Amino acid sequence: MVDVDNKKQNLSEREQSILHHVVYNYIQTAVPVGSRYISKHLEKNLSAASIRNVMADLEETGFLSHPHTSAGRVPTDLGYRFYIDYLMEMQQLGDDEKLRIHQQLKQTNDAEEMLRETSKLLGKISHQLSIVTSPHLSSGIFEKIELIPITGSKLLVVISIRTGIVRTIMLEVGAEVPRDHLDQVGRIINERLVGLTLKEIRDSFVDRVRDVQNEKTGLIRLFIESVDQLFTDSKDREKVLIGGTKNIIDQPEFIDPKNFRSVIELIENEDIIVHLLERHDESQRNFVVTVGTENKDETTKEYSFVTATYDVGGVTGRVGIIGPTRMNYGKVIPLVDYVAQAIAKMLSS
Amino acid sequence: MVDVDNKKQNLSEREQSILHHVVYNYIQTAVPVGSRYISKHLEKNLSAASIRNVMADLEETGFLSHPHTSAGRVPTDLGYRFYIDYLMEMQQLGDDEKLRIHQQLKQTNDAEEMLRETSKLLGKISHQLSIVTSPHLSSGIFEKIELIPITGSKLLVVISIRTGIVRTIMLEVGAEVPRDHLDQVGRIINERLVGLTLKEIRDSFVDRVRDVQNEKTGLIRLFIESVDQLFTDSKDREKVLIGGTKNIIDQPEFIDPKNFRSVIELIENEDIIVHLLERHDESQRNFVVTVGTENKDETTKEYSFVTATYDVGGVTGRVGIIGPTRMNYGKVIPLVDYVAQAIAKMLSS
DNA sequence: GTAAGCACTCGATGAGTGTGAGTGCTGTGA
DNA sequence: TCACAGCACTCACACTCATCGAGTGCTTAC
């Protein structure tokens, strides 16, 4: 990996300008851009030949490449990276788009439904695949547990989190447990855990209830055994909602059916995406852009990710976009950022 | 629509035999089958020319067609229908496949997760798109309601249904409601509704609680207003799980990218499928096969559906398969049927 | 360092052609 | 009346070949 920061000084004004033109034009047209075109339309005081020289330099440094001898130049991942960090201008989000987003958010009051629809809209506006994860509960603050007996030997556990999010889990109890006993255990748990995050609870639950072990029904023991299920974002709870497939297939890269397969792979295999988002989560910044091979995953090496965090009183989730590396970063980044903020505002009200 | 039953007598032995060969071979190979091929390999005592005559007759009656003058014959929807009803032999399900299904079903104990994984497996085995709906609650028998206050003005309503299925809905209450009042209202509702189906409740709730209207907090009024939300399969609850996209795109019909789009359309637009499944639900039979244009929907006119009902103590859902009309019906039908039964058994235990 | 000219490369396009599978039709013989 | 052999005809498909044009790389001149 070349150190991009170092490169900033190494590139002359002219080189930067030409790199800018190549990336910008390629993003717009998906066609490799040639020296003659730049000379004619964008950099009129330079001849095509001079531009070719510059391009050759840029290729040597690793910012550009070309698919075959007589084709125009195409940005490399590194080229995109430089473009994003130093050359690109962020595009203002249109008022109509802001309006559409707010209208969509207001429309439903079920949280998951809202996220799903927002994801669809995000895909539609950006013409890319969109991803939205449901809130990451482990940093949420425990408020209250409620135990409800269901037919036979089932027990419904309701866990409230401070922001108003509620999580329900069904547990299998060995035998029927009397109501007053349930209440008693519930009270104990509530007293001891209130104010902690789910993550803290998960890590210290056993210690905190050690002294109540010798009760009759083994209910506490059941809780200890199920602690992961109760206080972790289980696979089926922390959902990744993927939308906008029909938008992305209009992109010119998908005339080639083999690229098609890779997209299908992506939407069927949520695990890949979950994995990548985890990586993003470790970052400190609010939004993250990953270009092509910057994420090590082989299946996504031709795709870029733009994701942002939404934060609802400490409980966070992610929204983002996946698309070909040739992506309109200047437009997509503000869009994702805006949607993340809008979701946060919506969920916290 | 031609009356197929009538046709059964009208087709000679020879015509039936040749129709059988054409359909069977086309299903296997996806290549239009010609007279010469049949004469050489399948009907050795007939010359190609004679077979052509029979084929011409079958084409006139509407069972076959051919894409262009000098191509082999291809079944029409009507041809498939005749094949399914009279000619086809059901294939026994392999032991290894049965085993895979059971292992998959046992693996998870969360109901939705189980359905989702089963759907994936169904897609993998059949090489088609698979669909599974979550149980249709309106015919489920109400057992118990439970009201749980959440932070601020939210109320979690838990409705238990006799088979052990539980449904939770979050309601927005105007102001905080005291616990004893909640209990009281809960008790009233339980007494009056137990044993009824959700559908009955939805239709008669207002009448059944009319006399309790004059209570303080207006809680009953809230319930009356929310009755649809509470006792109907709301859009976000009755989920259609679609899986197996990456299996179906291996089918030869998807070399053409325009067919590609139609599949994407299908998986993004659950509504289309929900709509079609509703139609299927009205049928009395346990499994239903719809070929191509037999369902009137324009977007699915090149697809067939095979669906079966699973029944868990009166609460039902559907499993099924969607694929090109050229589908191995003899294998798929027993498969879908088997999976439906396996799911029912699993959920009721 | 910049520009101009020229040869070269390579993909895309399109016309032309041959091939093979398959049909439709007709005439003949049982 | 039915079976079938033969022949002409039709397409789709794959292949070749020539052409075109965009674009580069290199060399030379200013």
pLDDT score, position A215: 64
The CATH superfamily of A95-136+238-348 is GAF domain (3.30.450.40)
Instruction: Tell if the CB–CB gap between B158 and A154 is shorter than 8 Å.
Output: no
Q: What is the structure's pLDDT at B212?
A: 77
**CB proximity A140 to B under 8 Å:** no
* B73 contact to strand C (CB, 7 A limit): yes
Give the integer Cα–Cα distance in Å for A21 and A202. Answer: 52
Average pLDDT, chain B: 87
Q: CA A10: distance to chain centroid?
A: 33
The whole-number pLDDT of residue B1 equals 44
For residues B180-202, give the mean pLDDT: 90
**Could B110 and A166 be called an inter-chain contact, meaning their C-beta atoms sit closer than 8 Å?**
no
Residue B215's pLDDT band, with cuts at 50, 70 and 90, is low
Residue B314 corresponds to which amino acid?
G
Q: Which of A18-22, A224-228, B76-80, B186-190 has the lowest mean pLDDT?
A: A224-228
DSSP assigned state of A145: E
pLDDT (average), residues B313-333: 93
Q: Report the percentage of chain A scoring pLDDT > 90.
A: 50
Task: Give the 3-state secondary structure of residue B196.
Answer: coil
Residues in B closer than 8 angstroms to A265, CB to CB, are 246
Contact by Cβ (8 Å): B236, B137:
no
- Is the pLDDT at B280 greater than 80? The verdict is no
Find and give the residue nearest to D6, measured CA to C1'. B49
From the list A148, A162, A264, which residue is nearest B246 (CB)?
Answer: A264
d(CA B305, CA B88): 17
Of A280 and B17, the one with more pLDDT: B17
Kindly indicate the confidence band of residue B81, based on its pLDDT and cuts at 50, 70 and 90: very high
Rounded CA Rg of chain A: 26
Q: Do A166 and B158 touch (CB under 8 A)?
A: no
**Residues B99-117: pLDDT tens digits?**
999 999 988 767 888 898 8
Angle between helices A179-193 and A198-208 (to 10 degrees): 120
Instruction: Tell me how far apart the alpha carbons of residues B14 and B11 are, in angstroms, rounded to a whole number.
Output: 8
Per-residue model confidence (pLDDT) at position B269 = 84
Pick from B158, B236, B257: CB nearest A257: B257
CATH 3.30.390.60 residue ranges of chain B are: 138-231
Most confident of A266-280, B41-55, B163-177, B264-278: B41-55
Residue A235 has pLDDT above 60, yes or no: no
Strands A303-312, A315-324: parallel, antiparallel or unpaired by DSSP? Answer: antiparallel
| Strand C contacted by B37 CB (< 7 A) | yes
Q: Is A307 or A70 the better-scoring residue by pLDDT?
A: A307
Would the pLDDT of A118 be above 80?
yes
Say if residue A7's pLDDT is above 90.
Answer: no
pLDDT digits (tens, 9 = 90+) for A70-85: 899 999 999 999 999 9
Indicate the pLDDT class of residue A150, thresholds 50, 70 and 90.
confident
* Domain span(s) for CATH 1.10.10.10 in chain B: 4-87
B347 to chain A, closest Cα gap in Å? 14
Please give the share of chain B, as a percent, with pLDDT higher than 90. Answer: 47
Q: Is the pLDDT of residue B4 over 50?
A: yes
Q: Which of A27-41, A98-112, B62-76, B232-246 is least confident?
A: B232-246
Measured between beta carbons, the chain B residues lying within 8 angstroms of A152 are 164
In this predicted structure, the answer to whether residue A130 has a pLDDT above a threshold of 90 is: yes
Chain C bases having any atom below 7 Å from a protein CB: 2-5, 8-11, 20-26
Range in A13-22, A100-109, A205-214, B124-133 with the lowest mean pLDDT: A205-214
Distance B69 CA to C22 C1' (A): 8
Q: Which residue has the higher pLDDT, A60 or A257?
A: A60
Q: Which residue of A has its CA nearest to B241?
A: A268
Query: Looking at the domain covering B4-87, what would its CATH class be?
Result: mainly alpha
Neighbours of B63 (CB within 10 A): 29
pLDDT of residue B3 exceeding 80, the answer is no
Lowest mean pLDDT among B126-130, B215-219, B238-242: B215-219
pLDDT, residue A4, reads 54
What integer is the mean pLDDT of A111-118? 87
Instruction: List the single protein residue with the shortest CA to C1' distance from D5.
Output: B49
CATH topology classification for A138-231: Enolase-like; domain 1 (3.30.390)
Nucleotide nearest to A68 (CA to C1'): C10
- B169 near A CB under 8 A: no
Identify the band that residue B217 occupies on the pLDDT scale cut at 50, 70 and 90.
low
**Cα-Cα-Cα-Cα dihedral sign, residues B17, B23, B29, B34:** positive
Q: Annotate A46-85 with DSSP letters as a single string.
A: S-HHHHHHHHHHHHHHTSEE-SSTTS-BEE-HHHHHHIII
Q: Convert the pLDDT of each residue in A259-291 to its tens digit.
A: 888 888 888 888 888 888 887 777 777 889 999
Query: In sequence order, which residues have a C-beta less than 8 Å from that of residue B236 and are 6 or more positions away?
Result: A110, A112, A113
Q: How much of chain A exceeds pLDDT 70, in percent? A: 94
Give the pLDDT band of residue B268 (cuts 50, 70, 90): confident
Which chain D nucleotides are covered by protein, judged by CB under 7 A?
3-6, 9-12, 21-27
For residues A242 and A233, the model is more confident at A242
